[in-house]
Amino acid sequence: MELIEPADGLSQPIELVSAPGDAPGRLFIVQKTGEIRIWTGTTLLTTPFLNINALVQDVGEQGLLSMAFHPQYATNGYFYVYYNDNTEPNGNIVVARYQVTADPDVANPASATILTSIPKPFENHNGGHLQFRTEGGVPYLYFATGDGGSGNDPFNNAQDPASLLGKMLRINVDAPSPTVEIWGRGLRNPFRWSFDRTTGDMWIADVGQGAREEINFLAAASTGANFGWPCREGSQDNGAAPGSSDCDTVDAVAIDPIFDYPTGADSGRSVIGGYVYRGTNFPALQGYYLLTDYFSNRLLLISPSGSEWDVVEKTPTPAVSNIASISEDGSGELYAISLTGNSVYQITVPVVTPLLLTKFSGKSYGGYNELLWTAESEQNIGKFVIEYSTDGTNFLAVGNVHSLNDGNTNNYSFRHVVNTGAKAFYRLRIDELNNTHSYSAVITIGGDKAKGVKIYPTIVRNSLLNIVSASPVEKVRVVGLGGQEVYAKDMNGAEGFFTIGLPALQKGFYVVSVQGRDGQSTGKILIE
C-alpha cells in the first residue's frame, strides 16, 4: 500500500465525499471543527463550502462528523450533515439538510432544516456517518448512532426500542414529513460504516469497549438486525451488562460479526471502517473491504472466500497516524484521513513490484487476442498469469507465461483464443517466487473502446509516469502551468499501458497532454 497526500492546509479533517455528477478529483473535506472545505484536484479553496463552527460542539469525540449529498444533488442542491450541537453538556446528535447557492463552491448557511436532534446522556459514543441508499426509487438517508456513552450502556439505549441511540437509523428525505425509522439495534459506537456501491451490502465497524473490535456485514436484501450490544461485545459474551436484564433474548436473535479482533496495544483499538474498493485504478484492490484502526495505523483487507472471510494485513507506506476515516470518492477510489496530521492521503497500489512493467498492450485478430508486454529488471519473478474479463470486474485466469527472471528487459506475448469483436479486459498477475503477487493495469481490447485516458500517479516522486489508453496515442506532452513545454515524446500509436520516464523537472504542477487519433486528454500532476 502507498498513501499519497493530495491536500494540506486542513484543520482536523475527518471525512471526504464527492458530489454526484461532479468533476473527477473535486472533493469535499469535512473538518471536525465545523467547516467543509473543497479540494479542486490541485488546490484547497480558502473559503469553506460551509462553516457551521458556531453550531458545533467540538470536544473529544464530538464535532462535525459527516456529510452526504442527495442523489439528485445536481438538480436540487441538497446535502446533509451530522454533528453534535452546543446543547450542554453532551451535545445532541443533529442531522440537518442544507442547500448549495448558485455558486457551486459555496453553500447557503441559512438554508438549514433540522431533520432530527437526539439528546445524549454522555459526551462520548456519537457514531458519525451519513450515506444514502436508494431502495425502490426512494432515497433513504442512513446514519448510525452510538449508545450515548459511558461504559456498558448503563441506560440500555442500544436495545431500548424507544431510544434512537445505539441504532442504525434511516430517513426517507423526500417524504412530505421525513421521520426517523429504526433499522437496526445493538450498536455501541459505529463511528464508520458504509454501503458497497456495487452490491448495496452494508459494512459496519463497531468500536469495542475493552475486549473486541468488530466488523458486521449485512447483505443488501437484509431488513435490519440486532448486533448484540451491550449483551455481547464482538463475538464474546459481555456478562451481566447493566440495564440489559434480558440478554438471553438478545443472544437468541443477535447476529455474529464476520470479523473481530482483540483490543490491545499490538492489535489496536477504535476500529475505523472503510469501504469495499470499487475503483478502476488499482485492480489488485477490487472487491476488498478496507478498514483500519485509529491507534494501530494498520490496514486490513477483507474479502469473501466461499462461506468464510479472508483477512489480510498491510502496512501503509508512509506510516500515517490517527486515521479517522477511510473515505470514497465518486469514482470509487479510496482515501485515508489523518485527523491529527491534518492530511488527506489517496490509497494506491504500485502497478507492479519489484518488477517494472513498461508496456502492456493487445490486439484482436481472427479468432484470438494477442497480448504483448515488456518487463524490466526481472528479479524473483516466477510467472505472468493472464487474467481475462468481460466486464472489467470479474477476472478469470486463462493462461500463464514463465518469466525469464534474468534481471534484464524482456518482451513477452500470449494468444488468447476467444470470440473476437466483443469488448475484452485483460490484466497480468505477476507471481513472485516468495508466493506473493501483484497486478498490472487493466487494458481493453475490442468492442466500442472507451476514449478515456488514465494518467497516474498524480504526485510523481520517481520520475515515472503511467498512462493507460484504450485508443492509440501519438504524442505525450508535459507543459508547465505557464504554458511552456518541458517534455514531449512521440508514441507512434502505442496503446494499452505504458510507462514514461520523465526528465528531471523542477518541483511544481504540470499539465500532461495525451494526444491520440481519437482526440486529446489532459491531466495535472505534481512533481515532488
Whole-number mean pLDDT of the chain?
A: 90
- Considering the domain architecture, whether residues 267 and 411 belong to the same structural domain is answered as no
- Considering the domain architecture, whether residues 12 and 64 belong to the same structural domain is answered as yes
Domain boundary among 348, 370, 392: 348
Q: What single letter denotes the amino acid at residue 43?
A: T
Please say whether the beta carbons of 481 and 511 come within 8 A. yes
Least confident of 71-80, 186-195, 252-261, 278-287: 278-287
Bridge partners of residue 212, in order along the sequence = 262
- Considering the domain architecture, whether residues 33 and 60 belong to the same structural domain is answered as yes
Q: Is 436 helix (H, G, I), strand (E, B) or coil?
A: coil
What pLDDT was estimated at residue 354? 46
Predicted confidence (pLDDT) per residue in 307-350, tens digit: 789 898 887 877 888 999 999 999 999 999 999 999 999 998 75
What pLDDT was estimated at residue 4? 65
- Considering the domain architecture, whether residues 253 and 283 belong to the same structural domain is answered as yes
Computed on alpha carbons and rounded to an integer, the radius of gyration of the chain in Å comes to: 25
Distance CA 83, CA 503 (A): 48
What pLDDT was estimated at residue 48? 97
Distance CA 185, CA 228 (A): 8
Per-residue confidence band for 450, with pLDDT thresholds at 50, 70 and 90: very low
Per-residue confidence band for 18, with pLDDT thresholds at 50, 70 and 90: very high
What pLDDT was estimated at residue 486? 93
Residue 152 half-sphere exposure, CB side, CA atoms within 13 Å?
A: 12
Predicted confidence (pLDDT) per residue in 94-132, tens digit: 999 999 999 999 999 999 999 999 999 999 999 999 999
- Considering the domain architecture, whether residues 334 and 466 belong to the same structural domain is answered as no
Distance CA 110, CA 91 (A): 21
What does the pLDDT average to over 431-446? 84
What does the pLDDT average to over 429-451? 78
Please say whether the beta carbons of 319 and 297 come within 8 A. yes
Distance CA 431, CA 499 (A): 20
- Considering the domain architecture, whether residues 80 and 191 belong to the same structural domain is answered as yes
What does the pLDDT average to over 210-224? 94
Domain boundary among 424, 445, 466: 445
What pLDDT was estimated at residue 298? 86
Predicted confidence (pLDDT) per residue in 48-97, tens digit: 999 999 999 999 999 999 999 999 999 999 999 999 999 888 999 999 99
Let me know if 265 is exposed, middle or buried by CB neighbors in 10 A (0-12, 13-18, 19+): exposed
Q: Which three cell numbers stand for residue 153?
A: 450502556
- Considering the domain architecture, whether residues 328 and 376 belong to the same structural domain is answered as no
CB neighbour burial string for 132-151, b if at least 16 within 10 angstroms, e if fewer: bbeeeeebbbbbbbbbbbee
Domain boundary among 390, 422, 445: 445
Predicted confidence (pLDDT) per residue in 505-525, tens digit: 988 888 999 998 777 888 888
Angle at CA of residue 27, ends 469 and 53, nearest 5°: 175
What does the pLDDT average to over 211-233? 95
The yes-or-no verdict on residue 229 having pLDDT over 50 is: yes
Instruction: Identify the DSSP state of 31.
Output: E
Give the residue numbers spanning the domain of 208. Answer: 2-348
| Cα end-to-end distance, the chain, whole Å | 19
- Considering the domain architecture, whether residues 243 and 178 belong to the same structural domain is answered as yes
Q: CATH number for the domain including 165?
A: 2.120.10.30
- Considering the domain architecture, whether residues 63 and 168 belong to the same structural domain is answered as yes
Please say whether the beta carbons of 92 and 119 come within 8 A. yes
What pLDDT was estimated at residue 159? 95
Share of the chain above pLDDT 90, in %: 62
Predicted confidence (pLDDT) per residue in 379-422, tens digit: 788 999 999 988 777 789 999 999 998 888 999 999 999 887 78
What is the total count of domains within the chain?
3
What pLDDT was estimated at residue 24? 82
Predicted confidence (pLDDT) per residue in 277-300, tens digit: 999 888 778 899 999 999 887 899
Q: CATH number for the domain including 474?
A: 2.60.40.1930
Per-residue confidence band for 353, with pLDDT thresholds at 50, 70 and 90: very low
- Considering the domain architecture, whether residues 438 and 457 belong to the same structural domain is answered as no
What does the pLDDT average to over 223-242? 88
CB neighbour burial string for 420-436, b if at least 16 within 10 angstroms, e if fewer: beebbbbbbbbbbeeee
Closest CA to 478 of 443, 522, 442: 522
Please give the full DSSP string across 70-89, using - where no structure is assigned: -TTHHHH-EEEEEEEBS-TT
- Considering the domain architecture, whether residues 163 and 285 belong to the same structural domain is answered as yes
Q: CATH number for the domain including 414?
A: 2.60.40.10
The yes-or-no verdict on residue 172 having pLDDT over 70 is: yes
Count other Cβ atoms within 10 Å, centred on residue 354. Answer: 13
What pLDDT was estimated at residue 373? 94
- Considering the domain architecture, whether residues 7 and 123 belong to the same structural domain is answered as yes
Bridge partners of residue 260, in order along the sequence = 214
